[in-house]
Amino acid sequence: MSTATHDPHASEAVANAAEKRWAIIVLAIIAMLVLMMIVTGLHWAAMPPSRVETVDVKTLHVKGEFVETNLGTTMGADGKVLVRLLAQQYSFVPQCIV
């Protein structure tokens, strides 16, 4: 017969250690994600887009690249596909892009 004594609280200690380990892992993941968001935000704030053009929405469809007849999909001479469309709040013009 075995004379070893069995500690009734051993399983509780193992469970507490596992819970603590998972809590540390979860906190590390959350801290990493928050750090990534901070670094990304600072990077985007320090290096804004290099080419920003303002558009006059009142004359956009009258002349230039976005006249009504130019909208849609075209195939370039070099084989590249060019898509011109106007994005509105809840729709796109033209609605069918093929």
Radius of gyration of the chain (CA): 30
The model carries a pTM of 0.46
70's CB contacts (< 8 A; 6+ apart) are: 84
Structure confidence at residue 36 (pLDDT):
98
Question: Would the pLDDT of 27 be above 80?
Answer: yes
pLDDT band for 37, please (50, 70, 90 cuts).
very high
Q: Which amino acid is at 33?
A: L
Query: Which positions ≥6 away from 38 have C-beta within 8 Å?
Result: none
Higher-pLDDT residue of 83 and 48 is 83
Hey, where are the domains in the chain? 1-52, 53-98
